[in-house]
Amino acid sequence: MDADDKILEQLQKSKEELKRMFMAPTETLSGKLGLIDAIQRLGVSYHFESEIDEILQEVHTNPPCFKDDDLNLCTIALWFRLLRQQGYNVSCDIFNEFRDEKGHFKASLTSDVNGMLSLYEAAHLGLRGEDILDEALAFTTTHLESVVSHDIKAAGNLQKKVTHALNRPLRKGLPRLEAIHYISIYQEEDSHNKTLLNFAKLDFNAVQAQHQKEVCNIKKWWKNLDFATKLPYARDRIVECYFWIMGVYFEPQYSVARMILLKVISMISVIDDTYDAFGSYEELELFTEAIERWDVSAIDLLPEYMKPIYRALLDIYDEIEAETAKEGRSFCVHYAKEALIQRWPQLPSLAWEILQTERSLNGSPMALKSLQLQQLFADSWTTLSPISLSKRENMLPQRLSAT
């Protein structure tokens, strides 16, 4: 048995043990939610999707009661966040229990740093019109910043957690970066589960090895295109683009999708360089017309340097067609788009707004463009209506040493 087989065997053994933990009766709500939170932060939740669904369905069907001794701000905020992340339409009114008679969040909450941090993360999942979550975000941000700025001592790794969350809340983090960060935090916690920690480390290394192989393969594809010779003005952004895709899906089972999306994004980058830095107005008009025709015969109308771009682009979409045909499906962009618009009718206007913002910022410093686009994307979450969260079943398919 080689090293890879041993790792896979160890992963499977740990996975089965963790599944048994899921199925075992847990005395407290906080215990159930804490386990799910740790698994998600460690980047291994894709192994336990059905188990997580089952538990969250249970806690949604039987919402928490404030008479239970187990419940506090930390647990309630975690309950809210996990369910919202999963697509459940849970009401933010549950946080009214933590406000005083004047409608302000109770001052006594500030002494509970764990609770404040949990509420801070939950508040990032607020929808437009949910004023209590806007207030919660402002309230927690102010007091958590004081924990950092005044160097207030917090137990264990709490100080590190607060600093990291203020810099990059969970909703805005990349799963792989969040996983490697949380592994370093989790292993220092006295209450950490050794089986889960070891499983997370092994899984991180295994997935990382797969990602490295994918990058090697895509680099070969890029080299065979020979754009460095044919299009010396075009940037080689393969690794950078691959990193972007980690924000879409990092899980091993989406390898084919990653490769296809990476090729598409890489070609978009080449086309962007062509439009911005090289092509003449007349040449770009010809290329635009060829794209609109989407026919191989249009290649004869293009300048010589544009032909490899057009050919590579058509080849990529032929590859997409071939891959989807293997599963008995055709590449039906139109139907997918219609389904998406029916589910979230506000998306077309949002996409147009994003496009217009990007165009209006053309020529602006990259930092300014980034900040304004980030704000626009952040605002897009709040435009979802509660109806968008009400029926989960209709939602469309977001090296370490082991101890």
List helix spans (H) across 226-254. 227-230, 238-245
Q: What is the pLDDT of residues 232-276, one digit of tens each?
A: 999 999 999 999 999 888 999 999 999 999 999 999 999 999 999
Q: Of 172, 192, 212, which marks where a domain is finished?
A: 192
Which residue has 């609109």 as its token pair?
A: 292
Q: What's the whole-number mean pLDDT along residues 352-357?
A: 55
Query: 136 pLDDT exceeds 70?
Result: yes
Residues 23, 165 share a domain: yes
| Alpha-carbon 261 to chain mean position | 15
Residue 52 falls inside a structural domain? yes
* Total tally of structural domains belonging to the chain: 3
Give every CB contact of residue 126 below 8 A, 6+ residues apart in sequence. Answer: 92, 133, 134, 136, 137, 382
Q: For residue 99, what are the β-bridge partners? A: 105
Residue 41 falls inside a structural domain? yes
Query: 205 pLDDT exceeds 70?
Result: yes
Residues 352, 241 share a domain: no
Residue 83 falls inside a structural domain? yes
Average pLDDT, the chain: 83
Residue 391 is predicted with a pLDDT of 44
Residues 273, 374 share a domain: no
- pTM of the entire predicted model: 0.79
pLDDT band at 53 (very low <50, low <70, confident <90, very high): very high
Residue 2 falls inside a structural domain? no
Residue 9 falls inside a structural domain? no
Helix (H) or strand (E) holding 211: helix 194-225
Residues 148, 39 share a domain: yes
Which residue has 């092509």 as its token pair?
A: 279
Q: How many CA atoms are closer than 13 Å to the CA of 42, on its beta-carbon side? A: 30
Residues 243, 317 share a domain: yes
The tokens for 398 are 């977001």
8 Å CB contact between 148 and 159: yes
- Domain of residue 227 covers 200-331
List helix spans (H) across 24-95. 29-41, 49-61, 73-85
Helix (H) or strand (E) holding 341: helix 333-343
The single-letter code of the amino acid at 83 is L
Give every CB contact of residue 24 below 8 A, 6+ residues apart in sequence. Answer: none
Q: What's the whole-number mean pLDDT along residues 108-117?
A: 94
Residue 403 falls inside a structural domain? no
Q: What is the pLDDT of residues 291-338, one digit of tens each?
A: 999 999 999 999 999 999 999 999 998 888 888 777 665 545 555 555
